[in-house]
Structure 1
């Protein structure tokens, strides 16, 4: 059990490193894109109002911003105010960067709530990570997919609307998990040695090997097949039921969201 616990913790560290490359690009990217259209199409950006900016975000169907508005309405209003102030300057790059940074700041602020998230919401958020990975595996070469885990979306040829939708869902499910944790009042709990042992058993049953786990832990540059290994890792975590499953899922998500 101790041996597997050590590997598990290393794997988390590696996966959080992967997420660090992926998530900041996604959380807020959609808002920046939509507001680009607003700023570019406005004859007088200085006259933009928060209501217009909010309306434009909502009309484009951004799941991330919809989730923030639903779960943390005061934070949503504050973010829109920040973005509006920058949009009035007419600088498209600043609009995009402000959108991304503001949402990433919220993600980091609420990451600590995840240990109290209900299992259903934690599962949705982790499944969104797996769905994105499966999508990349289906659309890209094995080498490109592995590089996606190591380098982030920059490794993809050209992230299309489908990939952007996946990334939007990743952010939205995280914020719904934050909101459910804040409202639910479940006791916070980190994964224990016993929980990691159960995950190790599930990983082996799913066809995983110690070699694959070590490759995940080290994001090995030499290892071919990193994407299938990580997919099995996520699938194994999602298969765990009850409190052990909740502990594992929320611990993984915390490592992803806090970066």
Structure 2
């Protein structure tokens, strides 16, 4: 230390040597811009490692009402759901093949699935499940959910309108019903990390599911066996 102060001899006021004069200052280079981006990415990865959600992260949404809003408004979200080895995929006594509304209408399912970028057999499996389990809609005097995709008008009418239909077309127009169901399946699929038939079907049946249900397991069995062809 110098007796004249706390700084070493030769110190000129800068921690890194002589300060540049005005003429020596330059605009940031491409390299410095790229480095800035790399620094930001490093900070994001650091936040992830520390368990912090980085800014603009896609939100995790597990509440059924919030999931519904994400689907209807097509806003980004992650729907968490895990596999369940205990889920029962067996055929229940009330599954009646005679009410199958996929057989004979496969072209409609295939067209809707291709339009939405889905596996046609996934859509057919859900259609088979709903039409062979939910046939009560033909006799229930106050039914509001309609086959073959078991679309509830009050809940998903907005999706039908997005496709150019009236919400009430879900009840009377087979193509409107299947296309609306396909759009719903597409948006569920897009929000599930590592989606599977059983995961997507479980949430299709109940939006709040966070574990594969018996319904999802049964749809997966129908999908693998292609029961609509029997």
TM-score higher than 0.5:
no
TM range (shorter): under 0.3
Query: TM-score, length-normalised on structure 2?
Result: 0.28
Larger radius of gyration: 2
TM-score (norm 1): 0.26
